[in-house]
Copies of this chain bind each other. A is one copy, B any other.
Amino acid sequence: MTAGEALSVYLQDQATEFLRSLRLQRESTTDAQGAEESLAAARSLRRAARRVGATLHTFRPLLDPEWTEALRPELAWLSGTLAREHAYAARLDRLLGALHRLSTPAPVPAPVRSAQAPRTAGAGAGAAGAPVPRPGQGAKKPTGPLAIGAAKAAALLERQLTLARTRAHSTALQAFGSSRFHAVADSVAVLASEVPLHPAPEADLKPLAAAAEAQLVEAVAALPLLRAGHPYNAEALVHGLAADTAPEAQDAPWLKVRSLLRLHRYAQEVLLGATAPDARLMAAGAALDRHREAAEAAAAAASAARTPRIAPATAYALGVLHADQRHEVEAARFAFQQAWLREAVTAP
């Protein structure tokens, strides 16, 4: 199989998946089952759009340059528009889950006399991995001022993020009806039938995939990995009370690595097929996804705290929540460092 053939197979598969997901989403009913199907279809639509866009980018010397350069920003616009609704929903889930974990009453401990009592008190929680309940679903009603602050913070976040999500949903619906979207869908349909290759005889996939990997490695080398590998370095929260934009500066290189890791992963899929994903790359990618989600959740908590006329107890709960999510950011960096070094050691 030539480079052009391999690239065509991958792009045609992804384009076909894109068109299939689009049809599924359009045909989905408006009942509960339809909503589930629509969500799943939107997910695989975004998934295919990301892969097509990344592949057009990494292997652009093998493709018709004009056609490619015209489609890429349009795919990015579409992915971004579709991702926003999902992101707000996930952010709200994450924040309500964290607030629930923080405001669940501790199990009543036995007095610390026997050797068994502290074990019960310390290890009985384990709520970190629990499913995400909505406020009011808990077994007990909030009683103290702390719990009331947490409940008010949950209500405030639910209001703000649900509004943002609804707006994102409307924007996505508008996008689906736009001529801009129909043009993208037409281009992807072209891709599904015949990939517009550049007639370059010397073209090869491997050096282009290697270039994508080299960019990733260079970006990772620029990360403060030594510090991230030292647990509890308190780096993610530093400057947290300095200015609203403080975390963005330290998060940017991690977000950049997240994008480059995706490009590398998709290039590997073109080269090796998507059948056997690299477990270490997946772990590193999952850590960076968690980094991004936690950073955005922390920003949403900080933003909610700037709502005028909120009660001090609400603001306090949002402060605790912000720090908790920045703590998650730090944990994600640690997880990435562990996954990445594991790879470097065992790679040939």
Give residues in A with beta carbon < 8 Å to B.
Answer: 99, 101-106, 109, 112, 114-119, 121-123, 125, 127-128, 143-147, 149-150, 218-219, 221-224, 227, 231-235, 237-244, 246, 249-250, 252-253, 256, 302, 305-306, 310-324, 327-328, 330-331, 334
Closest CB of chain B to A276's CB: distance in Å?
29
CB distance from A140 to the nearest CB of B (A): 9
Question: Of all chain B residues, which has the CB nearest A331?
Answer: B232
Given contacts A102-B242, A234-B128, contact A322 B320 (CB under 8 A): yes
Chain A to chain B: the 3 pairs with minimum beta-carbon distance, closest first: A319-B319, A118-B253, A323-B323
Q: Which residues of B contact A128 (CB under 8 A)?
A: 233-234, 238
Chain B residues with CB under 8 A of A144:
242-244
Name, among A116, A221, A223, A249, the residue most crowded by chain B CB atoms within 10 Å (CB to CB): A249
Q: Name the one of B118, B127, B232 contacting A330, with C-beta atoms under 8 angstroms.
A: B232
User: Shortest Cβ distance from A336 into chain B, in angstroms?
Assistant: 12
**CB distance A242 to B319 under 8 Å?**
no
**List of B residues within 8 angstroms of A334 by Cβ:** 231-232
Contacts of A227 in B (CB 8 A): 122-123
- A293–B311 CA distance with the chains assembled, in angstroms: 29
If A106-B250, A312-B315, A323-B319 touch, whether A115 touches B222 (CB-CB below 8 Å) is yes
Which residues of chain B come closer than 8 Å to A327, judged between CB atoms?
A: 232, 234, 237, 323, 327
Given A106-B249, A323-B323; 11 other pairs, CB 8 A cutoff: A104-B238, A105-B239, A105-B242, A128-B234, A147-B243, A149-B241, A237-B320, A312-B314, A320-B320, A320-B322, A323-B327
Give Cα A117 to B102, complex, Å: 36
A112-B234 in contact (CB<8A): no
| CB proximity of A335 to chain B, nearest CB, Å | 8
